Structure 1
Amino acid sequence: MPEEPANNISGGVGAPAEFVPAEADTRAEAVVDELGQMYWRKAYGGRDAFECLVRTILSQNTSDVASQPAHDSLMERYSSGEARSASETRAGSEATRERSDLAESLAAAEQSELAETISSAGLYNQKSEMIIGAAERICEEFGGADGFDAFVTGGDPGEVRERLLDIHGVGPKTADCVLLFSGGRGGVFPVDTHVHRIARRMGLAPADADHEAVREHLERDVPAEKCGFGHTAMIQFGREYCTARKPACLDGPEACPLYDLCERVGVDEVEETVVDPADADAD
């Protein structure tokens, strides 16, 4: 079984999860069981909630390859209790800005310097504004990263999700990633572009379902303890087999390990064409 990629915005940490590929109650569960045979099986949780939030914001509209260096640079500059600004360093000043945690450090960050720090992630001006705004909000409402972490890990999941979605720049996928990878909440199946495409192409959700509708169908049909590794494994399956433009099934049934579980909505194997499931002919 392959190891989980080191650069995986949707995971990278977690303990082995119990996995019993028994008779599945739904096709969605059968798909996740097959993915569990192909990839890793982990129960997630334990990641610092604010860092997880920042990490996921950095990943928006970019790849892990681009967002990982941005995350590393941000942590190097701002996670230290004695982080110095670039202007202070250039001036040769020995002054330091004392920070009790990452949220406080980023709430006080100079936007242009943060943007420069995370430039490899793309949309760095927009993302730096989002991160500073989120940090200010978390310091104001929770007293900093530790208080936010306690809320995410111990609060009511519905309330946590609602509060997260109320932060500028935090959408459903970002909120769900924080709930899953920091809070360790079972029954949370974050939906990114891979999951959205695959679930509709396989017929696990309606062809015209938006991200929220796909999430609702998957969380309804996949057991809570399997949602976490189902999410990470489905992303990897989308990268290796069920790509947007040329899914493996176009090379024949034997090319895709999930062929028998898939309805291939929007895929014409004869003409070798692929369209978004929502655009597929209703016939």
Structure 2
Amino acid sequence: MPEEPVDNISGGASGGGQSTQFDPATAGTRAEAVVDRLGERYWQKAYGGQAAFECLVRTILSQNTSDTASQPAHDELMARYGGESVDLVDALADAEQSTLAETISGAGLYNQKSEVMIDAAIEIQAEFGSAAEFDSFVKDESPSVVRTRLLDIRGVGPKTADCVLLFAGGRGGVFPVDTHVHRIARRMGLDPPNADHEAVRAALEANVPAEKCGFGHTAMIQFGREYCTARKPACLDGPEACPLVDQCDQVGIDEINETAVDPVDTS
């Protein structure tokens, strides 16, 4: 079974959480069966344990860019502003925007992201006082309260809020939906072709047991990178090329003409 990649919003093996196991034979829904099959191919893990504000920063960096680009930017940011004796909230609240932007330039949209991070740090500093207090809020308060508060921060959308709940808060039953998860769930027929990100999230959280949701998120992303890509999914090379073809409705896939379109274009 492969190791979880370091270039991953979860931070890989060093990003918190712990290995777990689940039995594919117990799947009660097709969505759960898909997650279980991915668990046979990839790592099996329960998430949580990241520092909440650093997780928020990492997730903001990952917006509209790849993990291979955002991870080095995160490392540069932590090298300049982090450290065991440093409160990251204070450090970014006091940061010069142009310097922070230069530090994270590898992640793209660096001017916008640096502004969002500084504004978030100032807001969190004013309300919670420190990174440690914000961490306690994320890990101890009810998930609905945390999610609502995170969504009030400028630049934080549902996927970012859910990643903080999952990777920092360790909350079961949270299934963040990015572009990979959104595409795969609809292409497989787990959700209607025209379902938006929030509809897909609600359906997956309802049909995948809480302890498997976090893994389902990271594994679907990996599957989307390796097999179920947007333009040329593996199934276009023949059904034997995709390990989950028997679970897939192939919505938007034209094997004869070897094309793939967004499932919404078929509805």
Q: TM-score, normalised by structure 2?
A: 0.97
Q: Which is further off, 211-220 or 10-19?
A: 10-19
Per-residue CA distance 1:86-114 (angstroms, 9 max, x = gap): xxxxxxxxxxxxx8500011001010110
- Give the Å deviation of 1:39: 0.3
Partners of 1:130 and 1:230 lie apart in 2 by 28
TM-score by length of 1: 0.91
Offset of residue 64 of structure 1: 1.1
User: When the two structures are aligned, how many residues end up with a matched partner?
Assistant: 264
- Which stretch has the larger CA shift, 137-146 or 13-22? 13-22
Determine the C-alpha separation between the residues in 1 that align with 2:39 and 2:9. Answer: 19
- The whole-number CA distance in structure 2 between the counterparts of 1:109 and 1:257 is 47
Matched, 1:7 2:7: yes
Aligned counterpart for 1:113 among listed residues 81, 85, 99:
99
The alpha carbon displacement at 1:226 in A equals: 0.5
Amino acid at match of 1:192: D
1:90 corresponds in structure 2 to none
Find the aligned partners of 1:141 and 1:199 in 2 and give their Cα distance: 37
Tell me the CA shift for residue 25 of structure 1. Answer: 1.2
Q: How does 1:1-283 map to 2 (within 5 A)?
A: 1-12=1-12, 13=15, 14-80=17-83, 100-280=86-266, 282=267
Rounded to whole Å, the distance in 2 between the matches of 1:123 and 1:185 is: 29
Q: Within 2, Cα distance between the matches of 1:54 and 1:105?
A: 12
Which residue in the other structure is 1:87 paired with? none
User: Take 2:166 and 2:139, find their aligned partners in 1: how far apart are those partners?
Assistant: 10
- Show structure 1 runs of 4+ deviating over 6 A: none
Report deviation, 1:11.
Answer: 4.4
Supply the AA of the counterpart residue of 2:3.
E
Cα distance in 2 for partners of 1:243, 1:152 equals 33
One-letter amino acid of the structure 1 residue matched with residue 218 of structure 2: T
Q: Which runs of 5+ in 1 are unaligned?
A: 82-98
Contact kept, 8 Å, 1:9 with 1:59, in 2: the verdict is yes
Displacement of 1:18: 2.8
Partner SS, residue 150 of structure 2: helix
Please say which structure displays the higher CA radius of gyration. Answer: 1
Distance in 2 between residues matched to 1:54 and 1:168, nearest whole Å: 13
CA distance in 2, matches of 1:66, 1:8: 10
Aligned partner of residue 22 in structure 1, secondary structure: helix
How big is the shift at 1:9?
1.4
Identity %: 74
Contact 1:11/1:181 (<8 A) preserved: no
1:114-137 per-position Cα deviation (integer Å, ceiling 9, x unaligned): 001111111110000000001011
